[in-house]
Structure 1
Amino acid sequence: MVSPRRSSWTPGAAGTWRRSAVAGTVPRASRMASGRAIANRFMRSSPSKASSPHGTPRRRAGSRVLVQDSDAHGYRRLRRGGLEYGPWLLEGSRPASRRRPGDARCRRGGHSLGGAAGTPRGKGSGAAADIRDMSRILLWLSAWLVTVPAAAMTQHFEAPYDEAAWQVQAGGGECRLVQKIPFYGRAEFYQADGQPLAFRLYVNRLPERIAVAHILSVPPPWKHDARPRDLGRARLLASLNPLEFERALALRLLYELQEGMYPAIRYRDLADGRDQVEVLLSSLRIRDALPRFQRCVAGLIQLDFDILKEHVLHFETDSYLLDYRQRRILDRFIRDYRRMRGRGVERIVLGGHADERGTDRYNDRLSLRRALEVKKYLVRRGIPASRIEVHAYGERWPVRKGHDRRSWAANRRVTVWFARRPAALARRD
């Protein structure tokens, strides 16, 4: 005999219930007989005639008939007046291969139910069971929400419109173009004597991890036709100055600001990496501060080469002669030069310096004589004179700003550089 297909009970006339006809290969009479046989089997297996723990379809005094409906997984649902009381798992209704250990005759949500299975909601033990079940569901949902990770958020830092301004700080052989970023830190373009332009980012709080930043140039809202530009990536360090760009990228950011674009720095937060951080540099009012910054940079000492390695020789007051200690330093320099000669070293640059005491003319001459004395020693040791370049800076490039003996001793020096052409010029050629 072919088992009847899934069916349901529908209300009929005068408060009666009837099975709805389902199209299939089984005749209607056979389906009705099968339904009565199933109902009689559950009626006989009921431990109490007053109420059945399996929700057997039967008529009760003063109420409609409770019916049961089975789904494809062997669960049976109780319905009364159009309301479902399931799913109810009945013993024997689930296949043996899918039956869990400990399945009782009647379980709901894995827990045995007591009392009348067909008790309407709000009456007797059924209402208490529903409250208990709802409490279990709410407890499970709360535990699940706690374990689900929170969605990633974006922390946006930008100077507001009324505070977006660039300030110039000049003096002491240094030039800075600074913008303060509320609740984050500050961004600045920095250049000093003998150093190329650099971009630096400072934060108010010490980062706890190292990350990689994505550098973009984002158009402002009023530039409808412009598109974001990818400027590259840089490494963020775990320090209060986590980001610093060299000359090429620093110039690129400055050019983007002059064009009205907004350079953006994006990275995962430096705490645990859950959130996305975006730092935006505003181009508002930069044209007001840029001319003063350019005048400051024009007064700095400029170098037309990139420094590969540096050695420093210190001198006594009003002296340009080399002692034994300075000769040992130069011998080490010569060994380094011969080892690095095929690694991009194009020339040797000597820079003579003096302290602030004395006139400008006297200090210029003294610094030049110190540099020439070093050149003579290098030529005697076999380095071609054509590969050596000499500069005299006098007192204009102090390495230590001060007016005491330690500052003067640090500034009486000759700097010896391994030099090569700037990378930008080399690419242009």
Structure 2
Amino acid sequence: MIIARPSDSIHPRICRALASLAGLMCAASVHAGSVSSYYPDFDASGWTTEGSIFECSLSQQIPGFGMAVFYHRAGEPLSFYLQTPDSPMQAGKALLTSQPPVWRQDLTVKDLAYVDVTRSRRPVSLDASHSRLLIAELGRGMVPTLMRRAWFSDNESVHVGLSPVRFGEAYQNYHACAAELLPVNFDQIERSTVFWPVNSRELDETQKAQLDDIITYIKADPRVLRAEINGFTDGAGNARDNLELSRIRAFAVQSYLVQNGLDENMFNTRFFGATPEFRIVREERSAEDRDRNRRVTIRLHRE
């Protein structure tokens, strides 16, 4: 690897071209108006795909800087982040551009967006929209590049780029992984609440769809060993009737889970009627208040 010394005055465009071609990491850190550029090595710039039904990632190592990672967790949108032990980038706004590789100088540089930069181990985190934009540019064979002033010098900027080399095949593997992700993750269902219409005793299709996601997750994750099911009603009506109604609803949920393949022994099912201390809204003043209290909760426990 070639490292540009502080006395070298390398034009940023030349540095980027060399970086794309031969793995150059420019580090002209003292020269006024200089650029510290970080690009993957050409001969080792492949992308790595890792994943399971719980999460998928597509990453590339950036020498001297850290990692660039596309990340998709089950039940959540795609994201992208840069990870580094010590970011040279100043907090603020970075310019995200799309640069042509050295072998495609017929293409032009395109400014894509301004994105937030923080002083942290993940200085740049992008939402799904910007992440898909990066993927599209890499798919075109372009070099997405973030440009931001260095935190240690107002006269130096930091450029961090991604290489499109061997991106296509890795992305296909990542895309196949993402297609197999579960519909939800553990955090989304660890504490679930099934709300009930007035006087209803049977599960409707919306409630069943919510429970189907829980069933799918529990079957996929052997670490989930037990679950608590608790039934509650609103404060309207007779206390004895409410207790019975909360029992019927709680066991309707348990029965559906068991009928769809879960072990009955994993459930501890209880019912509390309209017991005031367990209400979400202690003093019910409206139909909306009662709607919030009329529920069955499910709490999953994982080893």
Instruction: Please give the TM-score of this superposition, normalised by the length of structure 1.
Output: 0.40
- Measured in 1, the distance between the counterparts of 2:105 and 2:88 equals 36
**Would you say 1:409 and 2:290 are equivalent positions?**
no
**Would you say 1:320 and 2:240 are equivalent positions?**
no
Q: Deviations over 1:293-318 (max 9, x none)?
A: 01110011347xxxxx999459x944
Structure 2 matches for 1:50-65, cutoff 5 A? none
**2:138, 2:164 within 8 Å by CA — same for their partners in 1?**
yes
- Measured in 2, the distance between the counterparts of 1:176 and 1:311 equals 23
**Would you say 1:271 and 2:163 are equivalent positions?**
no
- Measured in 2, the distance between the counterparts of 1:293 and 1:169 equals 8
Higher RCO (CA < 8 A, seq sep 6+): 2
- CA shift, 1:225, in A, is 3.0
- Measured in 2, the distance between the counterparts of 1:381 and 1:320 equals 24
Q: Deviations over 1:352-401 (max 9, x none)?
A: x99xxx9971169x99x99xx9xxx99x953899xxxxxxxx9xxxxxxx
- CA shift, 1:230, in A, is 1.2
- Measured in 2, the distance between the counterparts of 1:184 and 1:289 equals 21
Q: Deviations over 1:255-314 (max 9, x none)?
A: 1101111100110113233311111100000112111101110011347xxxxx999459
- Measured in 1, the distance between the counterparts of 2:104 and 2:84 equals 29
Report what 1:243 is aligned to. 124
**Would you say 1:161 and 2:42 are equivalent positions?**
yes
- CA shift, 1:222, in A, is 2.4
Secondary structure at 2:135's aligned position in 1?
Answer: helix
Structure 2 CA distance for partners of 1:150 and 1:218, relative to 1, 3 Å: closer
- Measured in 1, the distance between the counterparts of 2:128 and 2:260 equals 31
Report what 2:105 is aligned to. 224
Unaligned runs of 5+ in 2: 1-29, 194-224, 235-252, 274-279, 292-297
Structure 2 CA distance for partners of 1:232 and 1:172, relative to 1, 3 Å: same
- Measured in 1, the distance between the counterparts of 2:144 and 2:120 equals 22
**2:96, 2:115 within 8 Å by CA — same for their partners in 1?**
yes
Instruction: Please point out which of 288, 294, 301 is paired with 2:182.
Output: 301
Structure 2: which amino acid aligns with 1:223? R
**Would you say 1:362 and 2:268 are equivalent positions?**
no
- Measured in 2, the distance between the counterparts of 1:168 and 1:230 equals 28
Q: Deviations over 1:157-202 (max 9, x none)?
A: 1112101100001136110000000111010100011110001101
- Measured in 2, the distance between the counterparts of 1:196 and 1:284 equals 25
Instruction: Please point out which of 140, 157, 170 is paired with 1:289.
Output: 170
- Measured in 1, the distance between the counterparts of 2:101 and 2:290 equals 55
Report what 1:234 is aligned to. 115
- Measured in 2, the distance between the counterparts of 1:163 and 1:193 equals 30
Report what 1:382 is aligned to. 288
Secondary structure at 1:205's aligned position in 2?
Answer: coil
Secondary structure at 2:120's aligned position in 1?
Answer: coil
- Measured in 1, the distance between the counterparts of 2:99 and 2:65 equals 19
Q: Which one has a bigger Cα radius of gyration?
A: 1
Structure 2: which amino acid aligns with 1:321? N
**2:190, 2:300 within 8 Å by CA — same for their partners in 1?**
no
Secondary structure at 2:70's aligned position in 1?
Answer: strand
Report what 1:203 is aligned to. 84
**2:228, 2:300 within 8 Å by CA — same for their partners in 1?**
no
**1:207, 1:240 within 8 Å by CA — same for their partners in 2?**
no
The aligned length equals: 204
- Measured in 2, the distance between the counterparts of 1:408 and 1:278 equals 45
Q: Deviations over 1:88-111 (max 9, x none)?
A: xxxxxxxxxxxxxxxxxxxxxxxx
Structure 1: which amino acid aligns with 2:173? R
Q: Deviations over 1:107-164 (max 9, x none)?
A: xxxxxxxxxxxxxxxxxxxxxxxxxxxxxxxxxxxxxxxxxx9522111111121011
**1:178, 1:187 within 8 Å by CA — same for their partners in 2?**
yes
Structure 2: which amino acid aligns with 1:279? V
- Measured in 1, the distance between the counterparts of 2:177 and 2:81 equals 18
Structure 2 CA distance for partners of 1:267 and 1:318, relative to 1, 3 Å: closer
